A and B are shown apart, each in its own frame.
Chain A
Amino acid sequence: MSIVEVKNLHKKFGNFQALDGVNLALNQGEIYGFIGPNGAGKSTTIRILLGILKASEGKATIFGKDAWHDAVEIHKRLAYVPGDVNLWPNLTGGEVIDLLIGLRGGNNKHKREELLERFALDPSKKCRTYSKGNRQKVALVAAFASDPELFIFDEPTSGLDPLMEQVFQEYVQAAKNAGKTVLLSSHILSEVEKLCDRVGIIRQGKIIESGTLSEMRHLTRTNLLVETKEPIPAIDEWKGIHNVQKDGQTLDFQVDSEELDAVIRYVSQYGIVKLESAPPTLEDLFMRHYEHKQETTEGGNS
């Protein structure tokens, strides 16, 4: 059963079409990465899921319930951490954590203390004095301490230092191991790559790619580094080969997956000395879409 299901979601802000038919599904127990360039519509999708914004068209359900109508019921079973955590300046971090946990109804004292320690957060300070990272920790501690079935994170680590990011990843992993479902929107692709089972890429209000990382890699390019005895003629002109870089007899390029076989055959004629291949990183995938986006927006504007 899908924990989160979004079908043909549209959202208009005045005349501006922020979401233009988003489709998403999160299965029980998986970590779903939600990535896309700035302004693509990630936060808007998440806010509709939270019932804070009302969809113009389409359907969003969580736990099989309508995200708008049954918001209160749904929220009993989920925790949300925004990227830009805004807190009440005259309350202390500890008070805000208790407030957020208390509103949700759960209370796990032991877990709270452990989290405070792991995230190295002083709960006796007024929120006014917290840095961005510390404000984010407040929301993270409150989320992890309340033990929900679904976590929704919107760029939760944008202000955390690498050490804290590590702690965050550990807790997300632990949540997954405990059978929880996680929706993680992030610009830190290494984090998404490390944690997520499946990834959805959104651009201009549409999901343009989604699936497991290996499925997505399959559709894309592989990085190859070859050194041959004899120089390979006209490699640049070969179909499906991109970004060729020459360094003496060593060549570095990318190959479209469907051309890989042919390219290897061709190259092997020239006596391979060394061959290294690397799967594309999420960054490569993402960059490809991003570059593509710029082409289309330029075209669209003219």
Chain B
Amino acid sequence: MFRSASDNIGSLITFTLRKDRVRIPLWLIGIIFFTILIPLALDDMFPTQDERDVMAETLANPAVTAMVGPGDIENYTIGAMTTHNMLLFTAVVVGLMSILLVIRHTRTEEEDGLSELLLALPVGRLANLNATLFVLTVTNIVLALVSGFSLYALGLESMDLEGSLLYGVALGSTGLFFTGVAAVFAQVSESSRGATGLSIAVLLLAYFIRAIGDVSNETISLFSPLGLVTQTKAYSANEWWPVLFLVGFSALLFLLANYLNAIRDWGAAFLHARAGRTHATRFLQSPIGLFFRTQRTAFISWAISMLVLGISYGSVMGDLESFFQGNELLEQMLIAEEGYSLTEQFIPALMLVMGILATVPPIMAMNKLIGEEKKNRIESILAAPVSRGKLLASNLIIAAFNGFVMISLSGIGLWLAAEAVMEDSFSFGTIYGASLVFYPAMLVMIGAALFLIGVAPRFTGLIWVYVVFSFITNYLGGLLDLPEWIEKLSPFGHIPALPVEKMEWTPIVLLISVAAILIILGFIGYRKRDIEG
């Protein structure tokens, strides 16, 4: 029965490979490229064992462990460093790759009615699933071997053949495991979005279970596939048993997916799409509610990311002093200021990075309006008694609120982590103030985005050029020896470097005025121009 159900699998495999002849190589090249790039970069940045030990010291705290997993701190070679910093993240990416590829070839095809065409041909009912599993298995084996051997081929002292292969195989077996997870959810869920969502939820859950386990009790981590990945301890203890577990579980998941596929009808599923609300809440019945609702997921994801970013920066604060000594590159970037600790002097640079990063989500929120226009959805709103001014103002409020939350969360995250790892930490006000002081610069960026929407709707993309320009001139300005006036072309160049410098209100007032002028001009333009759709 099983054989005939998989009839003609060979031609389906060819077909699947042909459809993905660009996609799979791109994923593989990207992942392998980063896998070999990182140890090279680490070797470049930390050439001596002393420097690596300082780094190890800095990273040996619960916040970092929760993020990247446990590492071999005692024997922090380039190999151990690579495993510590990169293995888990890369495994998450490999898991994501497998999930997306599997769903694409199974539930998505079914949903679009594509595999109905195939089923009408002389192919078995399970052929499509097994062709997909086969292709993904091969993909992950290739990934394991190529990344393993390439790591070894780098010829770095601490990266022996066994460790390199284990590193690669750990990645490949994570891929296999999530191939199985996605294959099961492709049977269970009715829609491809549902199947993708559930699979990614398992991936995130695995990550968090491991995070909790790694900081509290390592046994808990063993219940997570990603916990097993870090337990391989590639380049130090070289444990192979976690890989066996992962491969074994993958095989079980493959069987389960086959079983579920065999007992269900084509197009049917075990979980049905949940019926949504039949009525809108009061909040939704306004432009502001609508914009908030359509951006909610992006908002929450960004908010979490900013908090995590703040926490991760804050978590390295404990050992900064020792870290800085002897690192010329970093010392050059800091403003040499008497009377302040190196850690304190480092804060404005961190805040600048976080401030510019936190500008990305509010600009995306602002530009959402132009996206909606291009997708022809603004016309339905403007055909109702909603003025253009109200529409634009609603979007502006959302963006300004978004930016405020983002920058606040990054500051709060940094303070929380610093409080946890430093003996003599900063007051909340110092840190939060140093972060919030960038808000007026952010408002100028939001204002510039709004200005483009109103006056030059075809060129709204230019705002990203300005963001990148701000980042380069301000973050790397000291390094590149740029004249100061170039830095001042960006609003971020006018912000006082708290807590090292004194608070100055003149530039703040200036920035807010510039933002106000941009916003007013944008409103005038928006009320005069044609709406494309």
Q: Which residues of A contact B (CB under 8 A)?
A: 47, 50-54, 71-76, 78-80, 82, 84-88, 90-92, 94-105, 123-126, 128-129, 139
Contact = CB atoms under 8 A, between A and B. Distances in A.
Contacts of B273: 125-126, 129
B524 to A, nearest CB: 14
B278 A124 contact: yes
Contacts of A99: 280, 284-285, 290
Interface residues of B, number: 35
A102 B380 contact: no
The prevalent SS among residues of B at the interface is loop
B532 to A, nearest CB: 9
B284 A88 contact: no
B197 to A, nearest CB: 12
A88 B531 CA distance: 18
Contacts of B284: 91, 95, 98-99, 102
B279 A98 contact: yes
B385 interface: yes
B531 A95 contact: no
Interface string B260-278: 0000000000000101111
B295 to A, nearest CB: 10
A102 B385 contact: no
A103 B530 contact: no
A71 B277 contact: no
A87 B377 contact: yes
Contacts of B383: 50, 52, 75, 78-80
Contacts of A75: 382-386
Contacts of B277: 92, 94-95, 124
Given A52-B382, A86-B375, A100-B384, 5 more contacts: A50-B379, A54-B530, A72-B387, A94-B276, A99-B285
B280 A98 contact: yes
B529 interface: yes
A96 B284 CA distance: 9
Contacts of A84: 376
A101 B387 CA distance: 16
A142 B368 CA distance: 24
24 contacts: A50-B379, A51-B382, A52-B379, A52-B383, A53-B530, A80-B383, A82-B380, A86-B376, A87-B380, A88-B293, A91-B284, A92-B278, A94-B277, A96-B280, A100-B384, A102-B282, A102-B284, A103-B381, A103-B385, A103-B386, A123-B278, A124-B276, A125-B275, A139-B380
A220 B297 CA distance: 60
Interface of B: 191, 193, 273, 275-280, 282, 284-287, 290, 293-294, 297, 375-377, 379-387, 528-531, 533
A87 B275 CA distance: 18
B275 A124 contact: yes
Given A54-B529, A84-B376, A102 B280 contact: yes
Nearest to A53: B530
A52 B280 contact: no
A99 B290 CA distance: 8
Contacts of A76: 385
A91 B281 CA distance: 11
A14 B282 CA distance: 42
Contacts of A73: 385
Contacts of B294: 88, 90-91
A128 B287 CA distance: 20
Contacts of A52: 379, 382-383, 530-531
A269 B44 CA distance: 108
Contacts of B285: 98-99, 101-103
A105 B530 contact: no
A96 B294 CA distance: 12
A95 B280 contact: yes
- A-B residue pairs, 6 tightest by C-beta: A102-B285, A98-B280, A92-B276, A103-B384, A124-B275, A94-B278
Contacts of B275: 124-125
Nearest to B386: A103
A98 B386 CA distance: 15
Nearest to A102: B285
Contact of A72 (B280, B385, B531): B385
A125 to B, nearest CB: 7
B530 A126 contact: no
A75 B294 CA distance: 24
Contacts of B386: 72, 75, 103
A19 to B, nearest CB: 13
Contacts of A98: 279-280, 284-285
Contacts of A85: 380
A243 B293 CA distance: 60
B382 A54 contact: no
Nearest to B375: A86
Given A86-B377, A102-B285, A50 B382 contact: yes
Contact of A71 (B282, B287, B387): B387
A12 B380 CA distance: 23
B44 to A, nearest CB: 45
Nearest to B293: A91
Contacts of A126: 273, 276
A100 B530 contact: no
Nearest to A78: B383
A104 B530 contact: no
Nearest to B389: A72
Contacts of B379: 47, 50, 52, 82
A51 B385 CA distance: 11
A124 B386 CA distance: 26
A88 B278 contact: no
B454 to A, nearest CB: 14
A82 B379 CA distance: 9
B385 A100 contact: no
B377 A95 contact: no
Contacts of B533: 86
In this complex, the member of A88, A90, A103, A104 whose beta carbon has the largest number of chain B beta carbons within 10 angstroms is A103
B376 A95 contact: no
B464 to A, nearest CB: 24
A1 B193 CA distance: 53
Contacts of B278: 92, 94, 123-124
In this complex, the member of B285, B377, B529, B530 whose beta carbon has the largest number of chain A beta carbons within 10 angstroms is B285
A26 B124 CA distance: 62
Contacts of A54: 528-530
B110 to A, nearest CB: 14
A89 to B, nearest CB: 9
Contacts of A125: 273, 275-276
Contacts of B375: 86
A104 B293 contact: no
Nearest to B384: A103
In this complex, the member of B279, B293, B531 whose beta carbon has the largest number of chain A beta carbons within 10 angstroms is B279
Nearest to B383: A80
Nearest to B191: A129
B385 A88 contact: no
Contacts of B376: 82, 84, 86
Contacts of A47: 379
Contacts of B530: 52-54
Nearest to A82: B379
Contacts of A51: 382
In this complex, the member of A90, A125, A128, A139 whose beta carbon has the largest number of chain B beta carbons within 10 angstroms is A90
A76 B383 CA distance: 9
